[in-house]
């Protein structure tokens, strides 16, 4: 009986350790992919709380849903939040985590975009920042 209890405790400890490791891996942003997009403020959604509804975006007042491209030029529509309206035509690099979605964004210059992404914008897509 004592042996079974010790085995059970050992298994429980191993499961908890595995879950904590998985959580740390997800939180750290490991496995994240960069996507690149261009701000189009005509597609912004004002996310300010109305009628007592709680803001679920963690203080993000604005929500963007924009086409974005990975470094190979593959398109994906991505939604992310911002605390303010962003500069029209600005290019952003989005850090996208598999579980959490967009965890970070930063403005980049057109020249900093991967070549495949530049080709997407040069092929008739929105290109306002010049």
Going residue by residue through the chain (130 aa), what tens digit of pLDDT does each one get?
777 777 777 787 777 766 666 665 555 555 689 999 999 999 888 765 544 444 444 566 888 999 999 999 999 999 998 888 899 999 999 999 887 888 899 999 999 999 999 999 886 555 554 4
pLDDT score at 12:
73
Whether domain 31-47+57-130 has CATH 3.40.50.2300: no
Separation of alpha carbons 57 and 47, rounded Å: 8
pLDDT score at 23:
60
Separation of alpha carbons 70 and 92, rounded Å: 12
Instruction: List % helix, strand, coil for the chain (3-state, nearest 5).
Output: 30, 30, 40
The pTM of this model reads 0.67
pLDDT score at 122:
83
Separation of alpha carbons 112 and 64, rounded Å: 22
pLDDT score at 5:
72
| 69 closest CA partner among 21, 3, 122, 15 | 122
pLDDT score at 45:
81
The residue with tokens 């952003």 is 92
């Amino acid at each position: 009986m004592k042996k079974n209890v010790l085995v059970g405790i050992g298994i429980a400890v191993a499961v908890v350790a595995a879950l904590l490791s998985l959580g740390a891996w997800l939180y750290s942003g490991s496995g994240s992919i960069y996507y690149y997009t261009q701000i189009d403020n005509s597609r912004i959604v004002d996310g300010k709380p109305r009628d007592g509804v709680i803001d679920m975006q963690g203080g993000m007042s604005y929500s963007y849903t924009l086409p974005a491209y990975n470094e190979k030029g593959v398109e994906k529509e991505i939604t992310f939040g911002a605390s303010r309206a962003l500069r029209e035509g600005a290019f952003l690099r989005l850090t996208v985590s598999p579980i959490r979605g967009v965890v970070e964004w930063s403005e980049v210059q057109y020249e900093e975009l991967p070549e495949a992404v530049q080709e997407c914008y040069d092929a008739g897509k929105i290109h306002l920042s010049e």
